[in-house]
Structure 1
């Protein structure tokens, strides 16, 4: 069974509080008792001085203390008891339990202090007297007749009788303290429990994460550092979830990539193998037919070469090992090369290639001329492949003080809205009927090139055709 942090923390704090309560109660009891006895001592000492003065002046005195159970004795200089209280002296039966019952016992108790009092000194103390079971208050006063010392006056009272009055107070004090302790422990439990709750949630959440569930979160409303810990835990969980999703996506991309590469390589290799076997078996005798086979093998080998080149190029770009040095570049030579290269191809395909005046007047831009030419080649080649005969492919541009936008549009069948988000993925071909016309890597290459140039590329399409556009910065 798991040990509960809440239980352990609560028990430990409770134990400390209980021990502190016991120690404080004992100390409080001692302090209160000492204060009470000292107050009593300070209260009795002036009364004893008054009684001693009365005896010195009148020879006799009376006091209510005798009826309260106090032992009061007077002795002359020869240590003989002086009869100074008359009939007010209590009998032995009136003495409280624990006090000396006979004169010898009283003398034994106060004997250590007689010489000090008769010598003219004073005594006021709480001490353990001989022949008594408990500590007692002892007060000794010299008796003077005028300026002459004639004897000493002593008072004895066990503190157990004086402190009996405190017992009721101490019981009340203990009950109040126990109630305060119980209330403190209850409040402590109510405070600790919500503080521990986030830790319990994080424990269960971490166990869930260990099992592969990364979408768990904990409330970040804990106290102080616990709240920060909960927030950090949620950030960690979020990043782990992102990494997990990225890993899953990467694995899926890897599988798709392998499948696409395998598919793209299988088709031309199968064609080359079939045609070479046919020629090798001497099954074709017509010379013109042989040339057609040779030409087809050559086309398929070129396609393989182009596919491998595109794959290597895309791999280099995505690995970050290729760096482009940007400079101020003139657009006019690029447009002239593009027009020269694609005008003949468009004419052979019976497609109208239109370069607008804006395209011819594209201002200088800050970039890489060869790579921009490569992007235009990819977009125009793609547009011509997906445009039917008698269609139109247009190269246009617009700009402001900062950015040039170059667009390549066609009048082909367009791309469906569902397929638009995937047109820049590797090996993606929106028109499956044209699967043999390209490698499916051109648009991916174009996007990687423009990304490395810190430019953007986009597409919009409709039933009237498709338009690809990208940006070039002038500065």
Structure 2
């Protein structure tokens, strides 16, 4: 539930709850006059029972006022009336003019009573001291023409007494309900808001102190829950970006260290041979030719190292453009092998090509894939430890991919090295640091990944190493 809906419901509850309680109070009061509840029934029964007694007594007093007014001047009559009133628990007052002829309650004075002309029943009645009475009044005239009134006062059936008993309880319940509703809803709403705020505050403090190794979670689907998930996503992305930055920084340091190491040896050799030429150590044409050949070889190695480093750097940051086209991979590799065949023969290396029949079109960048083949094949030639060396190229179909494998009969590599040979500057034998840049297979890996394929290596069952890579078929690359 969203915060907006939550606040709306909370505010609505603040209004609805008092209305419900007020309606409940009105319902209770209406039950006083109904027959369907305990309170109403009890009150009404008590009222009806009192009515039966008081109406009978009141009718007798009315009859006396009409037929035998002299009794109102008789003390014996008043004494018998007082005894009866004690049993009935009601009060009677007889007034003549402004004078009270008889009052069963000495605390009731003429000023507490209604004036002449208010004959009837008044449930609210009069208040005498701390007591409220319902009043029945009968007005008449004495034989001498003076106004007279009979009052029957009943405190047990007083509506005011009932109201004084129950209204404070109902009013207190109303106030208590309002307070508890307010406190409860405020606690629920504030907790649902403050808890994620505290989470975000604690997470911000951790980030400001450089700690990103934590997670914050929220099961809530409201705006704050979404904010927490976005904040944690931002934290994860920040952590990842810092890790990438550190990785690239370490890579940069490693590259600089490797470049320094790989360039130092040939530069030292070049300087040594140049000094030999300057000092006249090479005192014959053959020796000078030998020195110059060595200098040229070292310079060529340095130039190739720099070219491969530049190429790898562009591949690493995706700055090298690729021009893909649909090419028959069988004809492409066959043409390339014909180009390098003489060079391999000079190195006493035999090469063979095993392929599927027909043709299989793949999406490749011709120049980049030639670089891949060259790096893999001549890496095998470089580490070939027997003569004649043998290299076999094979091609197989794998669903929507074409698998190319380059196998040799060299020494292979250890199982641990199989996972590392595609890393930059990695050499299985550090003692052969001048034998290559250590970037050949790393460049091949980057190019194959840019083609959407995979590259991996495996040792042959008997001896040698096999390097495999896959290429995507083009739409018209079905084998025929």
2:62 equivalent among 51, 56, 61? 56
Residues 384-412 of structure 1: CA distance to partner in whole angstroms, max 9, x if unpaired?
Answer: 11112322122221225632211111122
SS in 1 for 2:277: helix
Structure 1 residues 155 and 290: alpha-carbon distance in aligned structure 2, compared to 1, 3 A threshold: farther
Relative distance call for 1:362 and 1:270 in structure 2 (3 A) is farther
> Do structure 1's residue 75 and structure 2's residue 95 form an aligned pair?
yes
Change (3 A) 1:410 1:331: same
> Separation in 1 of the partners of 2:302 and 2:270?
10
Match of 1:347 among 345, 348, 355: 345
Query: Superposition RMSD on alpha carbons, in Å?
Result: 4.9
Who is 2:312 aligned against? 314
Q: Deviations over 1:275-312 (max 9, x none)?
A: 22332333322221111111111122222221222222
Q: Which runs of 5+ in 1 are unaligned?
A: 1-12, 84-88, 93-98, 101-105
Deviations 1:307-366 (A, max 9, x none): 22222222222332333232221335533442233222222222222233x179653323
Q: Partner of 1:283: helix, strand, or coil?
A: coil
**Separation (CA, whole Å) in 2 of partners of 1:269 and 1:157:** 126
Determine the structure 2 residue equivalent to 1:373: 370
Give per-residue Cα distances to partners, 1:156-210, cap 9 Å, x unaligned: 578899579959x999x999x99xx99x999x99999999888767765654454
Length-normalised TM-score, structure 2: 0.69
Residue correspondence of structure 1 range 151-190 to structure 2 within 5 A: 151-155=148-152
Residue in 2 aligned with 1:107? 110
**Which residues in structure 2 correspond to 1:285-304 (within 5 Å)?**
285-304=283-302
Query: What does 1:249-288 align with in structure 2 at a 5 Å threshold?
Result: 249-288=247-286
> 2:135 corresponds to which residue?
139
- The equivalent of 1:443 in structure 2 is 441
1:437 aligns to what SS in structure 2?
coil
- 2:333 corresponds in structure 1 to 335
Deviations 1:431-465, CA, capped at 9 Å, x for gaps = 32332122222212212222222122111125711
- The change in CA–CA distance for 1:343 and 1:91 in structure 2 (over 3 A counts) is closer
Q: 1:54 to 1:160 in 2, by over 3 A?
A: closer
Aligned to 2:124: 125
Q: Which residue in 1 is equivalent to 2:469?
A: 470
Q: Taking structure 1 as reference, are residues 335 and 123 closer, same or farther at Cα in structure 2, changes over 3 Å only? A: closer
Gaps of at least 5 residues in structure 2 are 1-9, 33-38, 66-70, 72-79, 475-480
Residue 415 of structure 2 aligns to a residue whose secondary structure is coil
Match of residue 6 from structure 1: none
Match of 2:323 in 1: 325
Q: Following TM superposition, by how much is the alpha carbon of 1:138 offset from its aligned partner in structure 2, in angstroms?
A: 4.7
CA distance in 2, matches of 1:349, 1:474: 34
